């Protein structure tokens, strides 16, 4: 916790000082990276100083000051896995499942992901953007400052590009950072029925253009019985690597395909879901530094019974992140704070593990080292809460008292 710039620096942007906060910095070394009476200084988009209020250098104290009077400050939350851009909803399918149909049966009968594909293709660019922006605002109201958004409901070159472009537009028009992920290998579109390898051939040709247009930050695939095989997934990853794009994987959600080990061979940023993850997969993820992104919303909504191997991941020292997996089929959740509670209640994470999972480990799952903690030099993305300790936010259900969000040093209106 050192000063890397001060107001005195010629030409520096004016500083803002936030004083008398309870800080959960998530810096290593102490539980929560806790500072009981802390201060934080920002300049332009970055944090320039953070530490105990009594140590605040006198030179910084005359700047624009806010007394937070003991309120909790955490890093801005990072939702590292969402399918935010899509048309329509699947409330009818929810009813079908309540009457006994399973997620897999609905998918095999042509519903599921493919029904959202039809609605997405039918939606205009403007409608896709407006729906995604509404969802982003709901996440943002609870302290989220970075959102990963996947394609995967277009499943044709132009529609995939439209979805990625809508995600990019969110970052231009809303005070939030967006990371885009190309997930063309999400489901087989109807025009390729029975020809999954031909579809993968086609999807591979789209990637270079997406990259060239600046539409894509990472590449994902759905490797499962109702998704794509490990061999098909490997082809997607090979093309991603050729284009120097990082990979991630929907792995071991409904069955063990040894997808995590495959992804680890490609140095994946993350493997996500992981209910059926094997010890071999855990060892491979540990060796490659891959983050385990756990998705309690999908586990809950699909009424899964097989838990991800949290104790073994913990034991192995694989970093765990928590995300909403927001999507219309398996996780219509738009509260990352609720996921904190679900991660603790359903998956038995400690509140601190769950919090690291939506901050520092979530940032790592996106390959971002400049956020997810409160430290000098990192982005000034943080949330002020009407709470005195972050464990309160993991404990409450349906109550996330976010008072203020600062994004890139600027308080959101
Ligand atoms: O992450 N697992 C695959 N994809 C989504 C579900 C998508 C859908 O049902 O529309 C998920 O859970
Ligand atoms: Fe997902």
Query: Which ligand 1 atom sits closest to the C-alpha of 328?
Result: 10
Say what the pLDDT of residue 7 is. 37
330 lines ligand 1 (CB under 6 A): yes
Query: Distance between CA atoms of 313 and 347, rounded to whole angstroms?
Result: 12
The continuous run of DSSP H or E covering 312 comes out as helix 310-316
Q: Quote the tokens at residue 230.
A: 């490990």
Pocket test of ligand 1: the residue of 87, 222, 300 to mutate, having most ligand atoms within 8 Å of its CB, is: 222
pLDDT for 222-264, tens place per residue? 999 989 999 999 999 999 999 999 999 999 999 999 999 999 9
Say what the pLDDT of residue 36 is. 98
DSSP track, 58-94 = GGGTTSEEEE-TT-EEEEPEEE--B----SS--HHHH
Among protein residues, the one whose CA lies closest to atom 6 of ligand 1: 330
250 lines ligand 1 (CB under 6 A): yes
Low-confidence ranges of the chain (pLDDT < 70): 1-13, 62
Query: Distance between CA atoms of 221 and 185, rounded to whole angstroms?
Result: 5
124-127 contacts, C-beta under 8 A, 24 or more apart: 125/162, 125/165, 125/166, 127/87
Q: What is the pTM of this model?
A: 0.96
Distance, CA 331 to ligand 2 centroid (Å)? 8
Pocket test of ligand 1: the residue of 88, 90, 106, 113 to mutate, having most ligand atoms within 8 Å of its CB, is: 113
Distance, CA 12 to ligand 2 centroid (Å)? 41
For 218, list phi and psi in degrees, rounded to 5: -160, 170
How many beta carbons lie within 10 A of that of residue 363, not counting itself?
27
Cα angle 398, 399, 400; round to 5:
120
Distance, CA 181 to ligand 2 centroid (Å)? 11
324 lines ligand 1 (CB under 6 A): no
């Amino acid at each position: 916790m050192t000063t890397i710039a001060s107001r005195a620096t010629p030409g520096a942007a004016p500083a803002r000082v936030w004083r008398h906060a309870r800080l959960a910095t998530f810096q290593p070394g102490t539980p929560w990276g806790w500072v009981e009476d802390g201060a934080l200084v920002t300049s332009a988009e970055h944090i320039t100083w953070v530490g105990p209020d009594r140590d605040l250098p006198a030179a910084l104290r005359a700047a624009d000051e806010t007394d937070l009077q003991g309120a909790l400050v955490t890093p801005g939350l990072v939702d590292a896995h969402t399918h935010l851009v899509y048309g329509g909803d699947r409330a009818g399918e929810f009813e079908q499942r309540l009457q006994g149909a399973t997620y897999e049966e609905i998918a095999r009968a042509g519903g599921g992901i493919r029904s959202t594909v039809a609605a997405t293709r039918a939606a205009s660019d403007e409608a896709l953007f407006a729906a995604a922006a509404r969802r982003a605002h709901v996440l943002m109201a609870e302290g989220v400052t970075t959102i990963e958004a996947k394609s995967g409901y277009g499943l044709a070159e132009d529609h995939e590009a439209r979805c990625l472009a809508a995600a990019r537009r969110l970052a231009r028009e809303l005070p939030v950072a967006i990371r885009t992920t190309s997930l063309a290998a999400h489901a087989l579109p109807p025009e390729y029925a029975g020809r999954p390898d031909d579809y993968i051939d086609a999807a591979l040709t789209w990637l270079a253009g997406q990259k060239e247009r600046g539409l894509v930050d990472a590449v994902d695939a759905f490797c499962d019985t109702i998704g794509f095989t490990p061999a098909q997934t490997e082809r997607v990853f090979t093309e991603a690597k050729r284009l120097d794009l990082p990979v991630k994987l929907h792995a071991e959600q409904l069955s063990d395909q040894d997808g995590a080990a495959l992804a680890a061979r490609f140095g994946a940023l993350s493997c996500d879901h992981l209910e059926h993850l094997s010890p071999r997969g855990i060892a491979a993820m540990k060796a490659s530094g891959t983050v385990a992104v756990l998705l309690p919303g999908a586990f809950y909504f699909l009424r899964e019974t097989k838990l991800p191997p949290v104790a073994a991941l913990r034991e192995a020292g694989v970093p765990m992140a928590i995300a909403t997996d927001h999507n219309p089929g398996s996780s219509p959740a738009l509260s990352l704070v609720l996921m904190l509670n679900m991660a603790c209640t359903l998956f038995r994470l400690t509140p601190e593990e769950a919090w690291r999972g939506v901050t520092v480990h979530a940032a790592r799952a996106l390959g971002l080292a400049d956020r997810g903690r409160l430290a000098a030099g990192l982005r000034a993305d943080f949330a002020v809460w009407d709470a005195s300790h972050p464990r309160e936010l993991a404990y409450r259900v349906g109550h996330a008292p976010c008072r203020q969000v600062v994004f890139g040093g600027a308080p959101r209106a």
